Structure 1
Amino acid sequence: MNLLKQPVTALAGIGHQTAQRFEKLDIHFVQDLIFHLPLRYEDRTRIYPIGSLKPGMTVLICGTVEYTDTLPRGRKSLISRISDATGFITLKFFYFTAHQHNLLKPGAIVSCFGEVRVGYAGLEMVHPDYKILADGEQAATESRLTPVYPLTEGLSQSTMRKAVKQALSLCRSDNGVLTDWIPAEILQRYHYPSLAEAISTLHAPEESMPIEALQNGSAPALKRLAFEELLAHYLSLRQAKTRGENRHAPVFDGDRIAIDAFLRSLPFALTGAQQRVMTEIAQDCRRSRPMMRLIQGDVGSGKTVVAAYAALLALSAGYQTAIMAPTELLAEQHYRNFNTWLEGFDVRVVLLTGQSKGQQRKKLLQDLADGSAHLVIGTHALFQEDVEFHRLGLCIIDEQHRFGVHQRLALREKGADTGLRPHQLVMTATPIPRTLAMLQYSDLDVSIIDELPPGRKPVVTSVIPAERRDEVIARIRGWIEKTRQAYWVCTLIEESEALQCEAAEKTAERLSESLPGIRIGLVHGRMKAADKEAVMTAFKHREIDLLVATTVIEVGVDVPNAGLMIIENPERLGLSQLHQLRGRVGRGEGDSYCLLMYQSPLSDTARQRLGILRDSNDGFVIAEKDLELRGPGEVMGTRQTGAMHFKIADLARDKELLDQVQSIGDRLFTESPAAVQPLCDRWLGTAIAYAEV
């Protein structure tokens, strides 16, 4: 049996209860312990003279106790002053016993490890690790840096260190157990150590290794493991793409007459970028393997009409299309647009959301199952078990990063009964930084709509403090007097939708008092679909001047006459979400403005973020900056199921590795196929099942 595949209970001192605690850290097997790297390191390799200490240092010292006392004032504490030939320092304990007081008696020799701070009486250590030394005993130093591991409740550093030490000695006892799947010449070219050497270095670095290099990711051992982990993710997606290419999909030759009539009927001219992407989709759909295409396009670039073209390819070939949107508001808007664009094409468009209930829902499901409903637009309600299709040929997923992997997989599986896999088109207006797209979407072909419709002007963005609220309200009045409309967006840091809606309601009341005679509407996530629809329709028809809303309007709302947006507390949102919201204005031909009204004081990062948004309208530039500032999890909305999670790699820190990852991954795929699966198993384990989405 492979030693690394043994459960952690095979190690001495790890019983059932400890194993359960390890499971909370996703540690099940000996191999998992080996790849559970330290968070940071402590330097206990030498003793520092007390006189050389500076605040912020975390060090090992040794000294003689001068006195120990209990301070009753304020928070009761035990203080002990120790000194060596170079100086003195105070040890402070807020939790202590009488026994401790007796141990730290004057004249006792003590070794301590802790962080040096500035206290009332000079430098101090609060709750250091300490040991009273016997007569003639020397303070013990370590030969290597001491690792500090991520833990969970009930697990101590000593338990973790002992377990890792045993796992490493098992590896050393069997040289073949930790196979290096990366070819030696690649390791040499990039000056990477072997896998065994990298792992040993990271769990027990030599004292000469600079701690900074280990913390900031520049140590070759850490770079090598980050590289291998990124490579495994890339290879898993390449495998998924290959598997997808071996499946069969329906062929859409399409009704050329109907498609030409559709293009001629549009009330606007298509951009060159839209036409290019439509050609790419048509080529994909003429093949018998499933299309897996991602369309990226900045807010307002016209992705929805491209989706309508793709839907018509499927419909005119006799297949159904399912379009999944993240919110009911967006699903309802798509429903209206598609009905308008496909009028006269003998296509029945239906809407299926959480609001579809009882007999109405039953009838909808029947129509989808017997094929009398051709195009369905909906929310997550689409992938529920009782939704069946007659001949599903195309799935379109809008704002795909809002959905978890399981949801997208479930929708695609709806077409599997026919033996054919539906084509899949994935759209996002959140531009994905190139570094992320290369890894997160290497199983998809990517199309970019990099052109805005003619006549669109960039939105002018200003950053202003909330103290100038009265000026902003005066500006709204002047704007509406010019027969233009405006948005006021309320954001709240709490996840609670109820609190967000309450804040929006109060804001609408206050604005009604400040702006008498101006028609104010309100829309938020807890309103009934029919009520939201009524408010949005009234806003579109210019029956409402100012729309107060939560971030529910982030995607899909299109009112060309609304050219002014005020975003309250923008510092609480990420750059990409702010850019999405700002994309609701600038959709007509007039000038458009976005005011970011922040609460003082701003942190340096928030000031930087708002400055980036003020200075750029380019979604891709904004997404790259967002990645640098917040990291990949926030940018992609990856708190969802199935998003990429890394044990060691950090996409913001390690992005320069991605070019290597792509070229070497492609090479391994063709030249060393036997290495692909073991690398994926080592780093992804069970996660591979979902990579196909």
Structure 2
Amino acid sequence: MKAMREGSQVPHYGARDPITKWPGIGPKRAQEFANLGVHTLEDLLGLWPHRHEDRRVMTPLDQVHEAELMTVQGIVQRAQYDRFRQILRIELSDGRGTLSVVFFHAAWLQRQLPTGQQVVLTGKVERRASQMTMVHPEVQTLKAGEPPLLGLVPIYPLSGSIRQGFLQRLMKEVVPRLAPQVADPVPVAIQERYELIGRAQAVLYQHFPPDLTLLEASRKRLVFDEFLRIALAVQVMHHVDPEVAGLVQNPDGPMVKAFLASLPFELTPGQQKAWETIQSDLREPRPMARLLQGDVGSGKTVVAILTMLAAVDAGHQAAFMAPTELLAEQQWQVLHRFLEPLGVPCALLTGRDKQKAAAHEALQQGTLPLVVGTQALIAEGVGFSRLGVVVVDEQHRFGVKQRARLSLKGTYPDMLVMTATPIPRTLALTVYGDLDVSEITGLPPGRQPVETVHVTHERRKEAYTAVRQAVMRGEQAYVVCPLVQGDDENGGAKAAVDLARGMEKVPGWRIGLLHGKMSSGDKSEVMARFRAHEIDVLVATTIVEVGVDVPNATVMVVEDADRFGLAQLHQLRGRVGRGNKPAQCFLIADPRTEQARERLQAMVQYHEGIKLAEEDLRIRGPGEVLGMRQHGITGFQLANPVKDLAWLQEARQVAVKLVADDPHFAYPEHKLLWQWVRDALDDAMPSQVLH
């Protein structure tokens, strides 16, 4: 970086250049930047500060007082490191006064803060032992004659040996140099309508804002861009090629009617409403792309079977894709039980099946109407004769890319995506914007809400008393642990293997163990024994989170429940109460954070998945709740769909109108816009879908 400042010949840098092209960044540091998602100089420009510290006022040391945040400058007069306690203490002087400063776990700082080093510190000041002390501040070391970085100072996320001071100095050189090269893909008319500053300005001011007004103007522009890019991407996916006709299914056919007649119950109003909407889609030549949201146990599988049988009645094939081999096998057993009496063949195809060759041939010849599988269904070599319907279960485990690849197996088949992980309405159009959304509300007759109880470790006996009583009634129970085996680094969290060994000593209890490190065959065997009631209590990890269906299981115990997210806890709770017997879920935890306490309180208070999703969004914010990278589209960095809901809605309106008016981005002013959206889609969808 020194060469950058002093060299007479200034090299040219392009935004797409690898980060190693910048002086001072070698392979090791490049790997640490890669951990932050930074591979190119353009990526570096988009490494936004997670906050700014207000260092516009420098306080002389003789005027220091107790404060939440204060910035001071001085010279290190003395430094002392306590190796046993890993505490570094320094004394700072500016000629007018002195200040005591303490750092924790700061062995690495010894080398940066020798006696005589000039520094700028920003941190909390408190009174300790009758003297003012600054506690673990941000450090900016200065070379001789180097001016301090003042104003609204960016604070960046870090990785490995990358320190804040190094990154701030690097950004101070890179951003002003490269920000002017940033192209602005948003048409001028849209910028003027919403009073947005230029994108190059927004990038510069997000890193180094002259004042709070321009920082907010920068955020407004970049938030709008994030929403607009994703909204345009999902609109493009929704309008892949509207002129290409799909296949018309037959939702009034004999198999559909026979299946409905064979059910020992009537469809719930929620199921009936969802099925009526899907029937309308299936009768049209335009390919269906629908998301079916339904809480745990709401009856989505029955609606999926009706959808697949509509394809069979039309002479087409249907594929059901599950996220794991365990769930694929379980779904196949459910489908087989329903379809065998109707004489409809249904095969299971996963990555480990030995009969794959015969199944592949039957699919290609069209003699096999239905198949259930995992991602093996999108593998090379799996072909269909006439694929009409694709059902994807638990979409949050699949990306857009996998879904699109399966679509390419047929001539634009109808797609039904099912999820029991509810998404707040404010976000559904962003996450699943390429899909029409239906919801199944309500539970099947006889189902009751699961009583949820939070107990501390001191009261965990209450949970296991409920397990014992359930076993005595001839019912079954789950005990879920956060770990497979013990690990001291996890603070004593319960491990499935250890707990199962201990529970095997309880007289009369038949214990089973299930975790992700077991082979697929062993997992299937354990689940088969649990379904057959050869196991009373199944000790497991979160492998039972999704789709496992044993109606006789009435008690769920979750050890160290504060280590799980709300969506996970809700899914785990959904494994019990699937029959007509009352069920209980015990959450054992001594929560150590306010967030953990709020999660457990929400689980006790709410039973509806959509309400829990809204609580999750409130507690954790959108970045973690969405997990949008799993959907194939990069998630939000600055935008908050709750706080910025108005901008989300505006951006979506712009995207809908723009794609409707210019679906092929043929207008000259949309050329850059298309490249911008295309870059977002490249990793999300196979290229065949976009051409």
TM-score (norm 1): 0.83
1:290 aligns with 2:287: yes
2:315 to 318, 323, 339: 318
Cα separation, 2, equivalents of 1:527 and 1:585: 23
* Equivalent AA in structure 2 for residue 268 of structure 1: F
CA offset at residue 254 of structure 1? 5.2
Residue 107 (structure 1) aligns with: none
Cα separation, 2, equivalents of 1:346 and 1:362: 22
1:678 to 672, 675, 685: 672
Q: Secondary structure at the match of 1:678?
A: helix
CA distance 1:354–1:464, shift in 2 (3 Å)? same
Cα separation, 1, equivalents of 2:168 and 2:366: 61
Residues 297-306 or 25-34, more deviating: 25-34
Query: Alpha-carbon deviations, 1:635-671, whole Å to 9, x = none?
Result: 3455647243234324455344322232333334446
* Equivalent AA in structure 1 for residue 398 of structure 2: F
Matches within 5 A, 1:195-274: 195-206=199-210, 208-209=211-212, 219-253=216-250, 256-274=253-271
Q: Contact between 2:349 and 2:377, CA under 8 Å: does it hold in 1?
A: yes
CA offset at residue 6 of structure 1? 5.8
1:558 aligns with 2:565: no
Q: Secondary structure at the match of 1:183?
A: helix
CA offset at residue 353 of structure 1? 1.7
Query: Alpha-carbon deviations, 1:400-441, whole Å to 9, x = none?
Result: 1112333223222222xxxx2221111001111212211011
CA distance 1:156–1:541, shift in 2 (3 Å)? closer
CA distance 1:279–1:543, shift in 2 (3 Å)? same
Cα separation, 1, equivalents of 2:581 and 2:82: 71
1:512 aligns with 2:509: no
Query: Alpha-carbon deviations, 1:562-592, whole Å to 9, x = none?
Result: 2221111211111111111111112222221
CA distance 1:668–1:182, shift in 2 (3 Å)? farther
Cα separation, 1, equivalents of 2:186 and 2:24: 28
CA offset at residue 180 of structure 1? 4.8
CA offset at residue 619 of structure 1? 0.3
1:503 aligns with 2:495: yes
1:379 aligns with 2:364: no
Structure 2: give runs of 5+ residues left out of the alignment: 1-11
Percentage of matched positions with identical amino acids: 37
Cα separation, 1, equivalents of 2:71 and 2:571: 48
CA distance 1:325–1:671, shift in 2 (3 Å)? closer
Q: Contact between 2:456 and 2:588, CA under 8 Å: does it hold in 1?
A: yes
1:536 to 523, 527, 530: 527
CA offset at residue 71 of structure 1? 7.1
Cα separation, 2, equivalents of 1:685 and 1:91: 47
* Equivalent AA in structure 2 for residue 540 of structure 1: R
Matches within 5 A, 1:592-603: 592-598=583-589, 600-603=590-593
1:61 aligns with 2:73: yes
CA distance 1:474–1:289, shift in 2 (3 Å)? same
CA distance 1:667–1:186, shift in 2 (3 Å)? farther
Q: Secondary structure at the match of 2:239?
A: helix
Q: Secondary structure at the match of 1:245?
A: coil
CA distance 1:232–1:621, shift in 2 (3 Å)? same
Structure 1: give runs of 5+ residues left out of the alignment: 105-109
Q: Contact between 2:399 and 2:631, CA under 8 Å: does it hold in 1?
A: yes
* Equivalent AA in structure 1 for residue 453 of structure 2: S
CA offset at residue 8 of structure 1? 4.4
1:548 aligns with 2:539: yes
Cα separation, 1, equivalents of 2:157 and 2:54: 18
CA distance 1:677–1:295, shift in 2 (3 Å)? farther
* Equivalent AA in structure 1 for residue 672 of structure 2: P
Residue 145 (structure 1) aligns with: 152
CA distance 1:47–1:320, shift in 2 (3 Å)? same
Matches within 5 A, 1:473-492: 473-492=464-483
Residue 306 (structure 2) aligns with: 309
Residue 7 (structure 2) aligns with: none
CA offset at residue 182 of structure 1? 5.4
* Equivalent AA in structure 1 for residue 549 of structure 2: D
Matches within 5 A, 1:357-436: 357=354, 360-415=355-410, 420-436=411-427
Q: Secondary structure at the match of 2:225?
A: helix
TM-score (norm 2): 0.83
1:606 aligns with 2:596: yes
Cα separation, 2, equivalents of 1:72 and 1:178: 54
Q: Contact between 1:240 and 1:443, CA under 8 Å: does it hold in 2?
A: yes
CA distance 1:185–1:268, shift in 2 (3 Å)? same
Query: Alpha-carbon deviations, 1:216-274, whole Å to 9, x = none?
Result: xxx24312311221111101111221124333311113562332122111111101221
Query: Alpha-carbon deviations, 1:173-218, whole Å to 9, x = none?
Result: xxx9676545255314xxx545455344323322x428xx95xxxx
CA offset at residue 146 of structure 1? 3.6
**If you compute each CA radius of gyration, which structure gives the higher value, 1 or 2?**
1
Cα separation, 2, equivalents of 1:275 and 1:296: 14
* Equivalent AA in structure 2 for residue 47 of structure 1: M
CA distance 1:129–1:513, shift in 2 (3 Å)? same
Cα separation, 2, equivalents of 1:567 and 1:525: 17
Query: Alpha-carbon deviations, 1:295-352, whole Å to 9, x = none?
Result: 0000001000111001101111111111111122221222122122223433211111
Query: Alpha-carbon deviations, 1:595-653, whole Å to 9, x = none?
Result: 1112x353211111011011000100111111232344543455647243234324455
Residue 6 (structure 2) aligns with: none
1:183 aligns with 2:190: yes
CA offset at residue 552 of structure 1? 1.9
Residue 450 (structure 1) aligns with: 441
Q: Contact between 2:293 and 2:439, CA under 8 Å: does it hold in 1?
A: yes
Cα separation, 2, equivalents of 1:631 and 1:569: 23
How many positions carry a matched residue from both structures? 654
| Alignment RMSD | 3.9
